[in-house]
Structure 1
Amino acid sequence: MKKDSAKDIKIAFFDVDGTLVDMEKKVITPAMIETLKHLKENGIILCMATGRGPYLVPSFPGIDFDVFLSYNASYCYTKDEVIFSNPIPKEDVKAIVENASEIHRPVFLAGVEGGGANGCDKDLADYFAIAKSKVNILDNFDFEKLMDKKVYQMMVGCYKEEYADILRDVDGARITAWWTRAADITPANGNKGVGVRKILDYYHLDKENAIAFGDGTNDIEMLEAVGTGVAMGNATDDVKAVADAICGHVAEDGIYHYCKEQGLI
């Protein structure tokens, strides 16, 4: 992005883990807080785009995000209204639970206000620990009762070679992974890129008015959906390959330095 185009930026999308927050330290830095405050003061809409659900979205001191793309954009909302709701088809939820059980993998079903799992293993527990959370294991995993509620995302501990087994005979869901030992399962027709377009339409903004920062494979569509997609220095190679720019590592306040250099703050 050229400095003289910084004035065209009206909205900024941020992934959380590995982007806003170092996954090792698990806390946001003062420089990143300063960055978000200055962007807000400069009239830029702040959007958090995360695989986390609304009940696990982090809050940062002195920062009010304007809009949220939760569950990898399956559920997008502001504090006042829901912008986009895209649950996983119920028949696919059932198939995934059954497929995962066959390979001895417990699954967490997530709705707007939380959810529950039919068990837990180390991979799933460690995955939730990244968000400083614990797996809610339901003593009575009543599948039919759970199906009364919309499932926006499913989480399962697994490796890439297990993906095909988990998604056997499933048409309406896909795996969106940003960690090698677990995966988010989201609607097949949704991703962060779809969410970005819904949000841009909501605010009557063009692609060129948007910038996004991300580090994981589930951020690729988001970076492609904005005018300026920025990969973190710690991003995976496939993310860097589609990015318009690469900033510094999250542990070195890469976003702060990029925004300073580009005149955004």
Structure 2
Amino acid sequence: MKNVKIIFFDIDGTLIDMTRKAISDKTVETLLRLKERGVKICIATGRAPGSVPKFDGVDFDAFLTFNGSYCYNSNDAILSTPIPKVDVERMIENAARINRPVSIASKDRVVANGADEDLIQYFGFSKQAVPVSDDFDDVLNGEIYQIMMGGRKEEYDDILKCVENAKITAWWDRAVDIIPANSGKGKGIEAILEYYGIDRSESMAFGDGGNDIEMLQTVGTGVAMGNALDNVKEVADEVCGTSADDGIYHYCLENGLI
């Protein structure tokens, strides 16, 4: 295995098994042992900063959140790319026309103007309730990094009607994350690699969802989980075991990373 200096991990379906909705002891052990060997470990998720889980004893070096729209570490904001306000307002109007409530995310707050079955289940994957709030309009006045809403593929054109600088990324077929058009996990990884002065060839990532494709293509070695979608496995350099079977642990052990 080439000299790996940094590894990016998706959360849901990668670090966390979606059946148990928990990280395994072996996966925590892997993260700790990587740190002991001097490998930087980074979260790469569609979640907001405030909903990134904490794992006992594990200190991540950097966080790529909102699918790359906001990246940071304990000292600096490494990348900040909000959605243009005009596009945020258009998408909220578009959502209303198709009777879809939306959740918007600033750096510090996630609020929603309502909830439907798809949005409720989407938030439920990370053990959260849809944060319906009376101060939705107040948060809307600030910088918005991501919009989350229920949405099937046939609704995508309606959601993005007259929107110029935002795009849909999705890891589930009943909901979408909407991020800036010039954002994505790949862009976030490029910014973090530049920040730390690490070459792409020295980077690795683990992921399972459609929003991880760009990430796996950006790093030196992209590893798809055994439970990943088929189109994710197709673009990955390698495939490891499932999250339920401690795929990350066994891959790192077998390849001399830990």
The TM-score by the shorter chain falls in which range?
over 0.9
For residue 77 of structure 1, the aligned residue among 42, 64, 72 is 72
Partner of 1:195: 188
How high is the sequence identity, in percent, across the aligned residues?
55
Q: Distance in 1 between matches of 2:215 and 2:192?
A: 12
Gaps of 5+ in 2: none
User: How far off its partner does 1:59 sit?
Assistant: 0.4
Question: Residue 147 of structure 2: SS of its match in structure 1?
Answer: strand
For residue 132 of structure 2, the aligned residue among 127, 137, 141 is 137
Partner of 1:41: 36
Are 2:243 and 1:250 aligned? Answer: yes
TM-score, with structure 2 as normaliser: 0.98
Q: Distance in 2 between matches of 1:70 and 1:13?
A: 12
For residue 126 of structure 1, the aligned residue among 117, 121, 126 is 121
Q: Which amino acid aligns with 2:177?
A: D
Are 2:215 and 1:215 aligned? Answer: no
Q: Distance in 1 between matches of 2:230 and 2:183?
A: 22
Are 2:255 and 1:262 aligned? Answer: yes
Q: Distance in 1 between matches of 2:172 and 2:155?
A: 14
Partner of 1:106: 101
Q: Distance in 2 between matches of 1:138 and 1:62?
A: 33
Q: Distance in 1 between matches of 2:177 and 2:74?
A: 24
RMSD: 0.9
For residue 233 of structure 1, the aligned residue among 217, 226, 231 is 226
Residues 4-83 of structure 1 aligned to structure 2 (within 5 Å): 5=2, 8-83=3-78
User: How far off its partner does 1:139 sit?
Assistant: 2.9
For residue 85 of structure 2, the aligned residue among 90, 114, 123 is 90
Q: Distance in 2 between matches of 1:141 and 1:148?
A: 9
Q: Distance in 2 between matches of 1:229 and 1:141?
A: 38
Gaps of 5+ in 1: none
Q: Distance in 1 between matches of 2:163 and 2:249?
A: 41
Cα offsets for 1:198-248 (capped at 9, x unmatched): 000000010111010000010011111111000000111111111110000
How many pairs align?
Answer: 258
Question: Residue 193 of structure 1: SS of its match in structure 2?
Answer: helix
Q: Distance in 1 between matches of 2:231 and 2:161?
A: 25
Q: 1:81 to 1:160 in 2, by over 3 A?
A: same
Are 2:174 and 1:159 aligned? Answer: no
User: How far off its partner does 1:138 sit?
Assistant: 2.1
User: How far off its partner does 1:140 sit?
Assistant: 5.4
8 Å CA contact 2:106, 2:139 repeated in 1: no
Q: Distance in 1 between matches of 2:89 and 2:231?
A: 31
Question: Residue 88 of structure 1: SS of its match in structure 2?
Answer: coil
